Structures are given as structure tokens and as C-alpha cells.
Structure 1
Amino acid sequence: MRNVFQFCFVSVFLLVSCNQVSEKGQKPMGQMPVYQDVPYLQDFAIKYDLTDDVLLLAAYADRNGTIQAISSNGLYRTHDGQFLYPGVLTPDKTYRPLRDKKLSGMTLYKNQFVYLDDKAVLSNAWAGNLYLKHDLPNANIIAAGGDFLFLISDGTTLQFLSMAKTPWQGQLEGDIVQDILFDASREKFWVLGQNTVSSFNISTSELKTVLRGSDFTSFAILDNKVIIGTNSGYFAMDAISGERVGDKQTKLPVIEITDLEAIDGDLWFGSAQGAFKLRKDGKFDYYYGKRWLPGNKVVHISKGTDGSILVVTDAGLGQIVFKEMTLFDKAQYYDKQVRNRHIRLGFNASLTDLERGNIDSGRLTDSDNDGLWTTMYLAGEVFRYAVTQSEEALQNCRESMEAMERLFSINPVPGFPSRSFERSGYIEVLNDPHRWQHTDDPEWDWKATTSSDEAIGHIFAYGVMAELMDNDLKDRAITLIDTLMSHVVQNDLYMVDFDGKPTTWGKWNPEYVNARPKMVGDRKLNASNIIGMLQTAYYFTGKEKYKEKAFDLMDNHGYFENLMRPIKEIGPAPDDADDWSKMLSESWNHSDDEMYYVGYWGLYNYAFNDTLKANYKKAIIDHWEVERPEKEGAWNIMTALTGTPEFDLEEAAWYLREHPMDLVTWDIKNSHRKDIDFVPPNFREQTIREVLPPDERPIQRHNSNMFRLDKLGRDGRQEYSAGDIWLLPYWMGRYLKVISEPQL
């Protein structure tokens, strides 16, 4: 959803009393703010590709909802087209006689199509009675006024046409006509030249130059101002006095403006690099790339049907739709997205090898993090079940749990979870014989070298399941917790692979962890993760070996100090550090943030005592304070598990609302924008002062830098699953009661 629409749907915060009746399995949260899930306007795009070699000039929607586009070779109309399934623009043969005319322009009058050809202004509305002949065979610009008044131009000459008035003809003073608009409130036409703005009085037929300048490209009328676009920004002119108002505005996504339109009180801009809209707060909503438009060079913008916006580009037509929905509605859509095309053998998987974004052309693929992405989806479905008692959610949990269990059983190493598994033959395809190993069953292969982020994901999901489920899944989750943690403890706090050696990242032993200088993030991260994992294992199994190992690490090896180290002290390793530590700390690792936060569930909830719990809360909030600029929905909501009433709930809801419905990896570029404030290079890789909305930046999981501006080269090749990206924070928020049920 775009922020400009939020003024209609104010987020309401309520205080929930500590003695409130909890949803099934939920712990009372104390006094916490709650986001009221009222409807908001969610935007998404329907695209219509242009397959013919013609130049699109403009497009309009009439009162019947029909969309027509005028081109260098006549009229086109939309065919098919829905969200994620682009339609096409096809020659309009509806009125066959129009195909024989040399149509060069069109507009709307009383929400009916009006056309301009080399002989007349005409329409099929009003029983075809509108037919006004003109004397400009090369006319291609038209504007309609009240009472069937029209002003047309061929760029050099203007001609005024009316059913009741005498025709008039004239020219601008040494200028070329760019565009014409009718000002209904003042009953005059405005004429934009390359270097002038003129007015045409329909009563006196007086053409008067009002303003002089240079490099004008487009204009629009908004309230009592004429807004004038140029190749270097825009400015305003008072429509009554003709005086220029204020300075030229250049803090825009793109300063080279190709079109300006005022639609329902909003100012829309076209450029050679996408479209954008001025919001009420002075910022812009930016629509760039094939997430929104068939092409980036915008030719024309107009009002579409049902509040949508039509954006004509060099490659086709984009229709930006605004649909009223709640976060719960969005969750239902995403649930279908996951189940329809993102479940591979029970795993939460990506769809890859798409042909130009065609979601029906892709294939499900494994990843090194099948376990992690699936545990995050699985935990979200457990939260969903705890909140709704949905049988569908329960079945989703069962199917993913079967995949997670098989990660352990498909390889020969006791207690070791595979990264993934696949039917045989895949090793040769990937040409990765070290990671991919054969099983005893010739039908299956498994992926080795499991990492620490997989392990913490496993313990997170199983802990959530063990706590909130009251069926066989509870016992199965506890079994896997014990299975994995027994492997880790028995192997001296390492995950040991098929070759008898620790994996590259599955290392929590003090000899490895404390070899890192104190400012290197892995020292704090690994300590935090292993303590949370051991606490979870002890909480659900009651086995003293886990508790004893955790206290040994904290009391004798500095792990409590490690995990409590302020996050602001994390930085680059010193010059005399080992190469591995330097590599680990070249910049902030956003995958570490993901590992911290999924680990916080076990660290905080299953603390051995209240003193530790209070300290863990301080560590979590300390981390959250540094993460706040990213406005990361998952991190904000996960911070709420500590019971703190301050966790940027509105920013979390903003993340959920603003996240695009389209999860295809379209090319995204923002580094050229002039409306964002860049900051100097820094350790955390923050590029700009204020993070962009999720629907303006590349599609990414929680382990990526939210300040990343560009992602190019994979245009439409992959679709991510919403299972880990969106459904986890939403359903955790519902479970923690910081997001309400839908308020209709």
C-alpha cells in the first residue's frame, strides 16, 4: 500500500490488559500496542505488452471501462491481462471504419472517447453526431472543453473548433506547441510551448502568452496552479495571476519529466525511468521496472477504471491498481502463492528459470538454505494454527515437518541435518559432488555441509512447535530438538559432516568462537545462538547435559559476556587479526541478523532463570535499536516477544502493507534517484538516510540489506516464496497479539 492512502485508514493502537484472555497457547504479553488491521489500499500492476512495431502515444479508459490506446498506426485495445499474467495490446477492430482513418490523437470528453484524424474531430459516442472538420492535416494534439469545445494543433498552428462557435486559427509567438489542457474552473485552454505557457480565451478567442521560460516538456492543472514539467524538474505557476510560484523542484526520483497529470488531486509524473506520484507528505511513490510497467520510458499517464492509473510506456501499458484489503486478506493471497507453486517435497522453495517473469514457466529448485527457509515458514504456520486452529495450517505443518524429519534420516550421520535432498541425477546437473552425496537408495541424493543458520532455524521452529502444538507434532518436534542438540554436544559443539570433519559454519566450540576478536560479529552471534539452542533443548527434554553445557560456556568461556556485548561494538577486525576474522568482519552481515532473531525465541522464552531472561531482553533490545532504521517487519515483531511495548509496531505494519504482492525478481534500480539522501560508506552498508518501501526495492529475504538500492541482471528469472518473507512476521504478530484480527 502506498503511504498517501493511509490518511483514510489510521492505524489504531490499543492497550491490551495483562489479564486479557489469551489465544490458544499464547502467553500474556502485558500492556502492548496493537495494530488494528483495518482495510488499506494495496497497489499492484496489470501489464499489457506491445508486440507490434508501433509507437504508443496515449491511453484512456472510457465510462464503460474500455481501455484504448492511440499509436502511430491507429487504435489498440487491451486483451486478457491480470495480476502476474500480462495481457497484450492488440489492434482495435471494434469500429472497422476507424481502421481506415489516419487517427493521430485522442482524448476524453464526458468520459467518452474522442478522436483526431487528418480531417476532423470525431467520436462514436452521441450516436456519431460529433464530427467537426478542421484544416490541419498533420494535427496530433487535442484537448476537449465544455459544451463540445476543442482546441487542436499540429505543433505549429492552433485551431479552435465548436459546434456552436466560429472556428478560430492562430499560432504561438515563435514557439512549438507541446500540449493543450482545458481549465474548467476558469473556462479557458492552456497551451504549452517549448518555452512558453499561453492561455486561450474561449469567449474572445484571444491567445495570450502568460509565462516565458525554457525546456518545457509537459504540464498539468492542480487546484489553482499550472504545474510545468521540464527536463530538469518542475515548478508551479499561479493560474489566476500567471506568476511563477516558488522554486523549481528537483528533489525527485527523476528530474527529466516526460508527462505530468493531475488525477483525483494527486500529481503524477512520467519520466524516462519510470513513473512516480507526489504524496501528501512531499515524498514520492516510485514505480520502476517490470514489477509495475512493461517499459521504463513513460509516454502518457491517465486515470483508469476503478481508481487505477494507466501508464503508457515504450513497451506497452501498465495499469496500476489500488485494491482495498486487510493484512489478513494479503496473508490469504500469500498462502495460496506458497501452496500453489512454492512447495518442493514439503520444503518452502523458490521458483526459478522463469521466462521473463512467466510464473507458469519456472521450476522448483533446492537451495543451501532449504532447512532455514522451511523452518521459518513452518514456524509461521504453527503461529497461524495457534491463532486460528486452521486444519489447513495444521496439514501444512505436517507436510513441512515430514521434510524436516527426512533431512535427518536420509543421510548416514547420526543427528546431522542435511541441507536438502533431491531425486537422483541432480548431482550431475549441479556438478557439485562435494555437497551432493548419494544415499543407499539409488533414487535419492542429499546435500551436505550444513551451516549454523540451518541449525538455528531448526531449533527455532521445533521450539515453537513443541510449545504451541498439543498433538503428535509436539513430540516429534522435541525428538528433533534432542536429536540435533545431542549431535552438537557429543561432537564438542561442532556439526560433523559425512567426512568426519566439522562443517564450515557449524562451529560453536570456544576454541573457534573465542578465537575471533571481540568486535567480530561471529563471536557474539555464535554465543547467542548456542545458548538459546541449549536452553531450548533443556526446556523440552529436561536433560541436564544441555543445561550443564550452557552454564559451562557462560561461566567458564565468556559466552554470557559474548552474547551481551553491545551491538554497536561490532565492527571490522584489527589489522593484526587472522585472515578468517578479517573476512568475517569486512562489513555487517545481514544473514547474522536473521540468525540472531530466530535464535532470540529460544534465548528469551526458555531462559534458565529470570535474571538471565532480563539480561537477554536487554541484549535483544540493544540489537533492535541498531536495526530500527531498516524498518524490518520481522525484527520489529520478533522484538515484541520480550514484552517491550516499544518495538516500532507502526513500522512493522508499514513493512507488511508496503511489501509488493509481486515477488518476482524484476530488475530494480534506485541509485539514480534525486529524491533520496545518500550517506557516506559505512560498516553496516546503509546507503541512504531513510529506507525505501519494500515495493520500491529489490525482492529479498530477511537476510539481505534493506538499504540495497539496485539489483540488476536477473530480470524476471525467479519468484520468491512469501512463506518466510511475509507470512512468518504476520502470523507471529497475530500470535503475540500485536496485530489484530481483520477489522471489517
Structure 2
Amino acid sequence: MNRNNKVFLSFVLGAAMLFSACSRAVISYDSFSSRDDFARALYHPNIQTEKMLFTQYVQSGLTTHEQREFDEQPIQTMVREPGGHEFRATPRGLNICAPKASQNQHITFHLRILRGIAHTFHVISRSFFGFDGFGSLIESTQSCNLIDGAKGLPHENLTSIALCNNSGEVVIGSTKGVVLLSSGKFYYFAGRGLLSDNYVVNIFCRPSGTMLVKTKTGYSKIARVSLTLEEKEKYFSMQRERFRFGGIINSLRNGIRSPGDNDGLWTSLVVAADSFQYATTHDKQARMRARESIRALMFLERVTDTPGYFARTAFREDDIVAYNWKQKKGDWNYSETHPGWIWKGDTSVDELVGHLFAYTVYYDLVADKFEKRAIRNVVGRIADRMLTHNINIVDHRGKITTWGLGNPNNTSTDTRAFFGKGPISLGTLSAVKIMAHITERDDMRAMYRQLIEEYGMALGTLNAKISIPPFINHSDDQLMFLSYYNLIRLERDSHLKNLYLLGLDRYWQMERAERNPLWNFIYCALSGNMCDIETGLLTLREFPLDLIIWGMKNSHRSDITLQFFRDRRGSLQSNEVLPYSDRAVGRWNSNPYVLDSNGDSSVELDPVMWLLPYWLGKYYNLF
């Protein structure tokens, strides 16, 4: 054995001894926080989104001629790119092999022994410690490299493969959908929104990049559309009009208007989105839309016949809706002062936060003096009713609604309020702050100080997010960030503002991994800190154009790890948020870690969850 081989063998044996010693020790890892996380951003990155093209995927069926043409294509499980590398679809993953000429290299006997030793350590380290360094060492010396779930492949049981000749991309069929290898990343396509079923029999890629897919039960064509964010905004703005009914926003069920529990909240978010757009661009159409929807919100307060109490939703009795409201669960009522109108009660804190969020954004950015007076009157009536009933939301019968607790005394006597003091503190303080801002009333200013000085609610905002894995309610996240926005924006006391920002920073750090553009942009606008603008933009890019809620399964994927706990509804959750293009469509109050959805494609959502963060980010010049 020559000197070089001896040195190499000594190095490997030394590394093995070191690994063995470490495996018997208690290994601790120090975590370091970058100062960039706390540094103030003195400028906003100049992200020219109008010049950034990105790909959206749109599904359509194949014509009879295309089906016949596709059926003539052979099923391939191996393809070779022009440089000689082979891509092989196997039941264990994607095998990528070096060109044929390099596969015939002679390997000496002692190197084969060292590879065997490394393989032994790989089995031990992978089994007990999840350490894959020895496996990578082995693969770097082999002619073929198996890409599996641990290396990012969404599903390992592959059935077919094809090259996209013009782009160098590889499209792969599997028993659970389609995988695209593009720009070094894997993209996953599955579910009824894209495929007739997920078992791919054959796949073909046209020069344009369009993917033709044959499954066990049918054919699909997945085409690519290149858009800028500005073009996507125009598309969603056009689609939004299908969900507007006299200014009120409803989802659609089978294409028919479907009034729901939180229509007042969705309408409020539309008001805010249009207000930010008007303040940014001075677009008169945006102002007209915002005006129509703010009037619809004010009508939700009038239709209840109870000053200061507003409905969840409302519609005319002769309107065509997707269900028989008389058989629908909920607090349904006829309006006495507006004959022919039906409204739904049992209003929650979510609705209160949404209405006040919309009123104050519109009041500050859009309203003329006459509209300000009208908003001041409505908010004044809401304030009067809440003051009369100790900050609780009380319905037209004089009962506190199911989710209407706001009385600070409840945090000392009521179990639910006691453990929810953080969210109650933030929501209540924000509501009273907004009422004081719009009405300019001394009694509301006094109530705000009382909540802080006598009930300690400012301190309560430091722990607005309570994270107990099986019981996390992601609906609270939307409520909290909307509350933080105006509480911090309107606060003039620098000490209180600093306290609120401390709570916001804690909350956002807990939510950061979700890549939520609304959370990120609100945090950035209020704090001036580094706020992951790029990941927020990535989510806006990934968000699908099709907002129909299709059934989607991801729990089988090979590239995910599961959380130990299921969510509060018993659903499986991943440790990392999947790309938003891979998940079932949902609003920001849904759980982004849930893997599977039972959507039946009957419900279609309005696009305000995309439009609001887009225009808020534009207003604050974040991109």
C-alpha cells in the first residue's frame, strides 16, 4: 500500500473513531441569532416585480386528436439528455446516472473496502442519529445517484418520465401525481384541480413546456402561463367582481352566491385592499369599489334594527342563493326596518375586528368629510353599545354572542377568557383605540387608559399568541395581525408603542415560517425590521389562479415530515409549510400546515386574501 493510500485510510478510520465517540456523548448545539434579525431596515429593497415573470399552471382537457397522438407515444422509464446523463424512473425514486463512458472506470480493491466501511457507518448513523454524511460520501463515488424523498422528491414510486428538450426540464409520472424537475427544484402536481386521478400512466412534454398526462381514468393538459405580479393582480381584480353583491362579498357554491358566517369580514378586507390601492394609485375605480363596500358594511349595522349591533351577512329574501336559509343552521332573522331582508346574527369578535379595520383604513385614506361623518356615527353607535355592555358584543335579544366576550373582568372569572387573555387584550385594546380615533370621544380615550392601567391589557398583548400544538387556532392569527395594525399605527405614546411592537415581534417570529404575505408586510410596515419580503412575494407568486377548493392529498409525500400532534380538528400536519401551489386553496385564517383537504370543488373563494397583502405592500413601498 503506497503512502497516499495509507494517509487516506488513516483519515477514514480517524473520522470513524471520532463519530463513534460523538455518538456516545451528549451533543448540544448552540443557537445563534443574527443581528440582522434586529437591525432596522433603513431602506426597502428595490424589487422590480413588474419585470419579474413567473410561471402559473393551468389545467385543461385534451382534444380527441391530442389523445390519439398521445396514445402513440411510448411509455418511457429512462431518458438521456444530450450530455449523456440518464434519468431513470424507478419504484424507489429518480435515479440519475453519469454518462456511459464514465461508468466504466476501474475502482481499486482497497477503495471498494473503504466504500463498504462507509456504508456500514451510513446504516448506523442514519438509523440512530438521522445523520446522512456517510451516505453522501458513498454516493459521490458512484456512477448513479438515487434521488428520493429525503432529497426533495415529493413521491418515490415513479411510473414514467420525459424530457422537455428546450428547457432541460424533466417531467416525471408517479402513482400519486406529476413531478417537474426545473431549475434544480421539484414541483408537484396532483388533485382533481389538475388531474383526473393521481395514478399517472404516461407523460409527455411539448417544446413549449406544456405537460400532457395520461392517468388511469383520463387525460390532462397542464399548460404554463407567464405572469408578473401586476398581471396577476389585474386578473384577480377582474375575478373579484363575480363575488360582489351590492358591495357585500360572498363565496360561490357551484357558481351561485353562498352567503356565509364571515361575509362582513371578507367585505372589510376588500374595503381595505381597495383603500390601499386608491391611496397608492389614485385609481377612481378603486375608490368607487371601496365606497360601495363601506356602505354595505354600514348597512349590516342598520339591517339588524339594533343600533351598534351588526350582522354577519345579509341578503334579500328573493335573492337566489345556494341553499335554503330556513334550513341552514344559525341565528337567521327578518329585518323589521328593511322589509324583505334576511340577516344572520351571533356576531363574533372576528367580525368586529374586521369592520373596525375597514372603517379606520377607509376613514384615513379615502373618506371625504361627509363619509367621515357617516363612519363616525356608525362607529359611535358600536362604541355606545359596547360601553353599555362592558365591552362585550351583545345581540338584539340582549345576550352576549358565542364569541363576543370582551369584558376585562371576564379574564378573572371565566375559564375561556382567563386562558385567552392575550388575544382578548389585543382585540379589545385595538377596538377601543380605533373607536377613540374615529369618534374623538373622551369617554373612549378614558376607557382605553382604564384597560391599560387597571386591567393590565397592554402587558397582555405580549402573549397574544398561545402556542399549544393540538389547540392552535389559526383563525386567531388573522384577528391578531389586523388588531396589531391599527393599535400600533394609531398609538402616540412611544413607551406603549414599543411594548406593542415587542409583542408583535414575538408573534411574527412564531408565524414567520408560514411565509404569509399579509403577516410579513404588516410586520414590516409597523416595525421597520427585516420582514422576509421575498418569502411573502414567493407566496403571492405560488398562490394559484384557480380559487376553487379541490380535494388535495399530501400526507403520502416522501419529502415531508409529520408533526407529532394533529391539529385541533384531527388533521395531519407537516413540520414545514408546503408550497402554496401544492395545497388546497384557503384563506389566511386556515391552517397552512394541514396536508389533506376533502374539498369537492363546489366552493370557490374570492381573491381578497391575495389582493389585500399585495396592495398593502404596494402602499408601504415594500416592493
TM-score when normalising by structure 1: 0.68
Residues 201 and 215 in structure 2, CA contact (< 8 A), matched pair in contact too: yes
Query: Does residue 565 of the first structure (1) align with residue 463 of the second (2)?
Result: yes
Q: Distance in 1 between matches of 2:325 and 2:574?
A: 41
Residues 566, 462 of structure 1: alpha-carbon distance in 2 compared, 3 angstrom cutoff: closer
**Match runs of 1:111-260 below 5 Å:** 141=74, 179=76, 217-221=77-81, 223-241=83-101, 242=103, 245-251=143-149, 252-260=153-161
Residues 114-135 of structure 1: CA deviation (Å, up to 9, x unaligned): xxxxxxxxxxxxxxxxxxxxxx
Residues 513 and 527 in structure 1, CA contact (< 8 A), matched pair in contact too: no
**Matched residue, 2:296:** 403
Q: Distance in 2 between matches of 1:423 and 1:566?
A: 39
Q: Which amino acid aligns with 1:228?
A: R
Q: Distance in 1 between matches of 2:540 and 2:237?
A: 14
**Matched residue, 1:334:** 236
Shift of 1:477: 3.0
**Matched residue, 1:711:** 597
**Matched residue, 1:692:** 578
- Structure 2 SS opposite 1:223: coil
- Structure 2 SS opposite 1:716: strand
Q: Distance in 2 between matches of 1:49 and 1:295?
A: 15
**Matched residue, 1:202:** none
Query: Does residue 302 of the first structure (1) align with residue 204 of the second (2)?
Result: yes
Residues 484, 49 of structure 1: alpha-carbon distance in 2 compared, 3 angstrom cutoff: farther
Residues 47 and 317 in structure 1, CA contact (< 8 A), matched pair in contact too: no
Residues 338, 566 of structure 1: alpha-carbon distance in 2 compared, 3 angstrom cutoff: closer
Shift of 1:433: 7.3
- Structure 2 SS opposite 1:416: coil
Q: Which amino acid aligns with 1:303?
A: C
Structure 1 residues not aligned, in runs of 5+? 1-17, 19-28, 53-66, 77-103, 107-140, 142-177, 180-216, 355-361, 573-584, 740-744
**Matched residue, 1:429:** 325
Q: Distance in 2 between matches of 1:537 and 1:31?
A: 33
Residues 412 and 418 in structure 2, CA contact (< 8 A), matched pair in contact too: no
Residues 523, 682 of structure 1: alpha-carbon distance in 2 compared, 3 angstrom cutoff: farther
**Matched residue, 2:520:** 636
Q: Distance in 1 between matches of 2:572 and 2:461?
A: 24
Residues 518 and 562 in structure 1, CA contact (< 8 A), matched pair in contact too: no
- Structure 2 SS opposite 1:507: coil
Shift of 1:692: 0.9
**Matched residue, 1:728:** 612
Residues 496 and 502 in structure 1, CA contact (< 8 A), matched pair in contact too: yes
More helix by share: 2
Residues 202 and 214 in structure 2, CA contact (< 8 A), matched pair in contact too: yes
**Matched residue, 1:45:** 58
Shift of 1:434: 5.4
Q: Which amino acid aligns with 1:250?
A: D
Q: Which amino acid aligns with 2:263?
A: D
Shift of 1:403: 1.2
Residues 274 and 290 in structure 2, CA contact (< 8 A), matched pair in contact too: yes
**Matched residue, 1:438:** 334
Q: Distance in 1 between matches of 2:622 and 2:419?
A: 30
Shift of 1:42: 2.4
**Matched residue, 1:98:** none
Q: Which amino acid aligns with 1:699?
A: V
Q: Distance in 2 between matches of 1:603 and 1:682?
A: 33
Residues 600-641 of structure 1: CA deviation (Å, up to 9, x unaligned): 121101114121112111111110000011111111111122
Residues 428, 693 of structure 1: alpha-carbon distance in 2 compared, 3 angstrom cutoff: closer
Residues 683, 519 of structure 1: alpha-carbon distance in 2 compared, 3 angstrom cutoff: farther
Residues 287, 408 of structure 1: alpha-carbon distance in 2 compared, 3 angstrom cutoff: same
1:68 to 62, 66, 69: 66
**Matched residue, 1:461:** 358
Q: Which amino acid aligns with 2:487?
A: L
The RMSD of aligned alpha carbons is: 2.6
Residues 532 and 603 in structure 1, CA contact (< 8 A), matched pair in contact too: yes
Query: Does residue 611 of the first structure (1) align with residue 495 of the second (2)?
Result: yes
Residues 550 and 600 in structure 2, CA contact (< 8 A), matched pair in contact too: yes
Residues 426 and 464 in structure 2, CA contact (< 8 A), matched pair in contact too: no
Q: Which amino acid aligns with 1:373?
A: W
1:274 to 177, 180, 187: 177
Q: Which amino acid aligns with 1:696?
A: D
Residues 49 and 316 in structure 1, CA contact (< 8 A), matched pair in contact too: no
Query: Does residue 262 of the first structure (1) align with residue 163 of the second (2)?
Result: yes
Q: Which amino acid aligns with 1:39?
A: M
Larger radius of gyration: 1
Once the two structures are overlaid, the 10-residue window that deviates more, 238-247 or 248-257, is 238-247
- Structure 1 SS opposite 2:81: strand
2:256 to 344, 348, 363: 363
Q: Distance in 2 between matches of 1:265 and 1:368?
A: 48
Q: Distance in 2 between matches of 1:507 and 1:526?
A: 8
- Structure 1 SS opposite 2:531: coil
Shift of 1:590: 0.5
Shift of 1:33: 3.3
Shift of 1:595: 0.3
Once the two structures are overlaid, the 10-residue window that deviates more, 597-606 or 483-492, is 483-492
Shift of 1:722: 0.3
Structure 2 residues not aligned, in runs of 5+? 1-39, 105-141
**Matched residue, 2:381:** 483
- Structure 1 SS opposite 2:431: helix
Q: Distance in 2 between matches of 1:682 and 1:640?
A: 31
**Matched residue, 1:349:** 250
**Matched residue, 2:123:** none
Residues 415, 647 of structure 1: alpha-carbon distance in 2 compared, 3 angstrom cutoff: same
Aligned identity (percent) is: 27
Q: Distance in 2 between matches of 1:640 and 1:348?
A: 28
More strand by share: 1
Between the two proteins, the alignment pairs up a number of residues equal to: 533
- Structure 2 SS opposite 1:665: strand
Q: Distance in 1 between matches of 2:328 and 2:313?
A: 13
TM-score when normalising by structure 2: 0.80
Q: Distance in 1 between matches of 2:44 and 2:379?
A: 31
Shift of 1:428: 5.6
Q: Which amino acid aligns with 1:318?
A: S
Residues 191 and 552 in structure 2, CA contact (< 8 A), matched pair in contact too: yes
Residues 464 and 480 in structure 2, CA contact (< 8 A), matched pair in contact too: no
Shift of 1:503: 0.6
- Structure 1 SS opposite 2:180: strand
Shift of 1:292: 2.0
Q: Which amino acid aligns with 1:638?
A: I
Query: Does residue 314 of the first structure (1) align with residue 216 of the second (2)?
Result: yes
Residues 190-227 of structure 1: CA deviation (Å, up to 9, x unaligned): xxxxxxxxxxxxxxxxxxxxxxxxxxx44443632111
Residues 39 and 324 in structure 1, CA contact (< 8 A), matched pair in contact too: no
Query: Does residue 33 of the first structure (1) align with residue 45 of the second (2)?
Result: yes
**Matched residue, 2:538:** 654
**Matched residue, 2:17:** none
- Structure 1 SS opposite 2:537: helix
Residues 303 and 310 in structure 1, CA contact (< 8 A), matched pair in contact too: yes
Shift of 1:657: 0.6
Residues 465 and 473 in structure 1, CA contact (< 8 A), matched pair in contact too: no
Q: Distance in 2 between matches of 1:532 and 1:683?
A: 28
**Matched residue, 2:72:** 105
Q: Which amino acid aligns with 2:72?
A: G
Shift of 1:678: 2.6
Residues 662, 560 of structure 1: alpha-carbon distance in 2 compared, 3 angstrom cutoff: same
Query: Does residue 420 of the first structure (1) align with residue 317 of the second (2)?
Result: no
Shift of 1:512: 2.0
Q: Which amino acid aligns with 1:422?
A: F
Q: Which amino acid aligns with 1:708?
A: V
